[in-house]
Structure 1
Amino acid sequence: MSRFDGYFLRQLLVLFGFFTLVLVGVFWITRSVSLFDRVISGGQSAIVFLEFTALTLPTLIRTVMPMAVFAAAVYATNRLSRESEMTVMLATGSSPWRLARAVVLFGLVTGVMMAAISVFLRPASVEQLEIRQAEVAGDVTAQLLNEGEFLHPADGVTVYIGRIDLDGTLHEVFVSDRRDPANSVSYSSSTAYLVNNAAGINLVMLDGVALRLDKDGRTLSSTLFQDASYDISALTSTGGMNTRSLEAIPTMELIRDREAIASAEGFSPGELTDELHQRFSWIAICVAVGLVGYATLMLGSFSRFGLWPQILGAFTILVLLEGVRGFVSPVVIDEPGLWIVLYAPAVIGILISCLFLAVAGRPIWRRSRAEVAV
């Protein structure tokens, strides 16, 4: 590797880190608002929110990495061209193909990063996230322990707790159970406790009254009690996950046991094949978008004002490649044998880059074509 290649590669990596950080920050802020609201409204702590955020980061990073690779390649190439460094290298006899070595190496480095995230880290994080979401959804205690709020842990059930002491004593408790429309019941008590035993979680209320409404008989009966137990373990699902999503299946399991997964978990062979090859196609797309950004800008000549027409053209090609990626996925789901088309966007991007580099490497031919057009 020459000194210029190392210099170009360092520029690309620094800019890639910057754009990745910015894009992850923007996407994270957008998504974290709704996530924070769901977690906190469910009675969970900020620690749970931070845990969920950390588990969603691999998916978020995988989404923004191709954009960061493209932006770094375009920005670095444009800056080197604007500051005449690219022009000097071309004038000394280096061809666009020769200068592309740093971009190819940059694509391979980011491809390795993408492989670690897409093939290993993301499936593991999604699996752990689904486990934690199931645990949080089944945490009835956390959902109920909120002072001064009318909570709805299940359809037709309303719970209100006026105050909670440090020792766990609940005061001013109200429970309304309307799951049976014909026979609704409401409890209110001065104090109560949450008791967790082998049979489940029970709300034990002391010194209260139970009001039962019989709509058929049009009667309202009241019962004073010294203590009453109300089973709250059935308000939410406390069991584990019944099924896992496609994204949570480990890659090695997808490679070895697709037939077993399809029969046991109900996924179609096309869905499993699409998910497996999508993970590897993200690696190839990192190399392709970096080359597209560099090669398109090499079509332009030196300008102090930058290469904005070429930048716009590179962005257009990126959008078209993303459109192709969205088109080929349903094809593979319907026909798993056509999995090779998932790599078509990366192949198309590399072929377009090679074409642009071939044109950029023949300025005399390009100039003659322009004169003929005039």
Structure 2
Amino acid sequence: MTLIERYILRNVTVAFVACFLALTLVIWITQILRQLDLVTGQGQTLGIFMVVTLLSLPALVVIIAPVALFIATIYALNKLNGDSELIVMSAAGVAPARLLRPFAALGTAIFMIVAAMTLYLMPQSFNTLRDLITQIRADFVSNIVKEGQFTTLDSGITFHYREKAGDSLLGIFMQDERNPEKIAVYIAERGQTVTVGNDSFLVLENGSVQQQEKGSRDAAIVTFQRYALNLSVFAASEAETVYRPRERSTAYLLSPDPEDPVYKYQTGRFRAELHDRFSAPLYCISFLLIAFAALGEARTTRQGRGVAIAAAVVAVGLVRILGFFASSAVVREPLAVAGIYGAPLVSSLIALLIIFEGARVRGLMGAFLRGRRAATPAAAAGGA
């Protein structure tokens, strides 16, 4: 890579990093605000809160990186033209392919990073986040039940404790109605949650268990001094994890289990997710080429570039909208896969045509228009 190419690469890389960090920080803050309930409402530690928000970063990178690359390319080319460096390079005979080379180097690097995110890191982060959220919700004693309130869960558990003393719960009442044929009621003076491995236990002290069969007036009552309840079992329905398509690995999406009930019910979404992952990195190249096609040609300072920038922004927005539309359509129609890849690929080909054959195309168009204008007066004179 020559000196001028390294100079351009440094400028566009600095612009990309600055833009990427700014956009990521702004969007990440919105994600942080959405997860504040983990600390304020569910009593989680700051460490859990930070882990949950950090796990959302790979998905942000996939969305932000192509946009940041587009903005960085626009900025670098506009700066080069504003400082007359682009004009000097054009006058010195620098070919478009040579000028494009440093931008292509950065685009290739971002392409590989986004590909790694979409194919591996993003589904892995969503999977880990799903497991973490499920674990938080499963520990209903610590995260859901409030002091002095009767709390009924969807699983059929009603839990209450009078007050908390340190790490202990006082005045515990729990009714288990998961099995309507056999209802159990637990009453204890004191209890404490203990974690052993991946399971959480509620250790009750000085209490009783009352079990009653449906339709029977008699109840079996057993007193105890110490009794351990496996909370993972009691929250089984809460802890059951169902992974969505975006939380599945790419290897699974390529070869899904045909007996998977989620796959049977959402076959279209699995298909859309798979092709979205493979097409997402292509937008890095597409956006970069669109920006270069709009501003890569040298112009004098008197020639405004606002129209070119606006056209590039509109083109990028249109390409991304077409991609989203195709992604939604492929859920119902498999042939829409062509649109998922067609949006970034066709736009890239059109941009390359403008970059390398733009002068010839404009010359042909100019000659055609001049011929039309010349033919019009001649036809009018012949008619007279």
Give yes or no for TM over 0.5. Answer: yes
Partner Cα separation in structure 1 for residue 192 and residue 187 of structure 2: 15
| Structure 2 segments unaligned to the other structure (5+ residues) | 179-184, 208-222, 374-384
* Distance change >3 Å, CA 125–CA 34, structure 1 → 2: same
Q: 1:144-202, CA deviations, whole angstroms, 9 ceiling, x for partnerless residues?
A: 687x685856369575654432xx2335x58698999xxxxx9999x632366999855
Q: 1:72-122, CA deviations, whole angstroms, 9 ceiling, x for partnerless residues?
A: 111111111111111111111123343122222222111011111111111
In the TM superposition, residue 363 of structure 1 has moved relative to its aligned partner by 10
TM-score (norm 2): 0.75
Letter in 2 for 1:22: A
In the TM superposition, residue 253 of structure 1 has moved relative to its aligned partner by 2.7
From 266, 269, 276, the equivalent of 2:262 is 266
Q: Does 1:96 align with 2:92?
A: no
Alignment partner, residue 169 of structure 2: 170
Alignment partner, residue 336 of structure 1: 334
In the TM superposition, residue 281 of structure 1 has moved relative to its aligned partner by 0.6
Give the stretch that moved more between structures: 1-10 or 225-234: 225-234
* Distance change >3 Å, CA 226–CA 16, structure 1 → 2: same
Partner Cα separation in structure 2 for residue 169 and residue 45 of structure 1: 19
From 284, 287, 290, the equivalent of 1:289 is 287
* Distance change >3 Å, CA 253–CA 77, structure 1 → 2: same
Partner Cα separation in structure 2 for residue 134 and residue 79 of structure 1: 50
Alignment partner, residue 85 of structure 1: 85
* Distance change >3 Å, CA 294–CA 88, structure 1 → 2: same
Alignment partner, residue 277 of structure 2: 279
In the TM superposition, residue 270 of structure 1 has moved relative to its aligned partner by 3.4
Q: How does 1:38-187 map to 2 (within 5 A)?
A: 38-143=38-143, 152=151, 154=153, 159=160, 162-165=163-166, 168-171=167-170
Alignment partner, residue 216 of structure 1: none
Alignment partner, residue 2 of structure 1: 2
Partner Cα separation in structure 1 for residue 259 and residue 334 of structure 2: 16
* Distance change >3 Å, CA 370–CA 194, structure 1 → 2: farther
Letter in 1 for 2:248: I
Partner Cα separation in structure 2 for residue 196 and residue 363 of structure 1: 74
Partner Cα separation in structure 2 for residue 88 and residue 300 of structure 1: 9
Partner Cα separation in structure 1 for residue 308 and residue 326 of structure 2: 27
Q: 1:292-337, CA deviations, whole angstroms, 9 ceiling, x for partnerless residues?
A: 1121123572327962221111111111011100111133222335
In the TM superposition, residue 339 of structure 1 has moved relative to its aligned partner by 2.7
Q: 1:55-79, CA deviations, whole angstroms, 9 ceiling, x for partnerless residues?
A: 1111111121111111111111111
Partner Cα separation in structure 1 for residue 169 and residue 227 of structure 2: 14
Q: Please state whether the residue corresponding to 2:94 is helix, strand or coil.
A: coil
Alignment partner, residue 245 of structure 1: 244
* Distance change >3 Å, CA 92–CA 150, structure 1 → 2: farther
* Distance change >3 Å, CA 252–CA 229, structure 1 → 2: closer
- State whether residues 175 and 188 of structure 1, in contact with CA within 8 Å, keep that contact through their aligned partners in structure 2: yes
Q: How does 1:201-350 map to 2 (within 5 A)?
A: 201-202=201-202, 204=204, 233=231, 236-237=235-236, 240-255=239-254, 257-258=255-256, 261-267=257-263, 268-298=266-296, 301-303=299-301, 307-336=305-334, 338-350=336-348
- State whether residues 172 and 191 of structure 2, in contact with CA within 8 Å, keep that contact through their aligned partners in structure 1: no
Q: 1:249-284, CA deviations, whole angstroms, 9 ceiling, x for partnerless residues?
A: 2112322x23xx242243244333322221111111
Give the stretch that moved more between structures: 49-58 or 335-344: 335-344
Letter in 2 for 1:324: L
Partner Cα separation in structure 1 for residue 82 and residue 33 of structure 2: 40
* Distance change >3 Å, CA 195–CA 107, structure 1 → 2: closer
In the TM superposition, residue 15 of structure 1 has moved relative to its aligned partner by 1.6
Letter in 2 for 1:279: R
Q: 1:17-61, CA deviations, whole angstroms, 9 ceiling, x for partnerless residues?
A: 111111111111111112122454122111111111121111111
- State whether residues 44 and 142 of structure 1, in contact with CA within 8 Å, keep that contact through their aligned partners in structure 2: no
* Distance change >3 Å, CA 272–CA 238, structure 1 → 2: closer
Partner Cα separation in structure 2 for residue 123 and residue 129 of structure 1: 10
Q: Please state whether the residue corresponding to 1:263 is helix, strand or coil.
A: coil
Number of corresponding residues: 348
Alignment partner, residue 36 of structure 1: 36
Give the stretch that moved more between structures: 39-48 or 332-341: 332-341
Which structure would you say has the larger Rg?
2
- Once the two structures are aligned, what percentage of the paired residues are identical? 23
- State whether residues 204 and 229 of structure 1, in contact with CA within 8 Å, keep that contact through their aligned partners in structure 2: yes
Letter in 2 for 1:17: V
Q: Please state whether the residue corresponding to 2:242 is helix, strand or coil.
A: coil
* Distance change >3 Å, CA 357–CA 19, structure 1 → 2: same
* Distance change >3 Å, CA 200–CA 308, structure 1 → 2: closer
TM-score (norm 1): 0.77
Q: 1:213-272, CA deviations, whole angstroms, 9 ceiling, x for partnerless residues?
A: xxxxxxxxxxxx9999997947744664442111122112322x23xx242243244333
Letter in 2 for 1:164: A
Partner Cα separation in structure 1 for residue 50 and residue 282 of structure 2: 32
Partner Cα separation in structure 2 for residue 367 and residue 270 of structure 1: 44
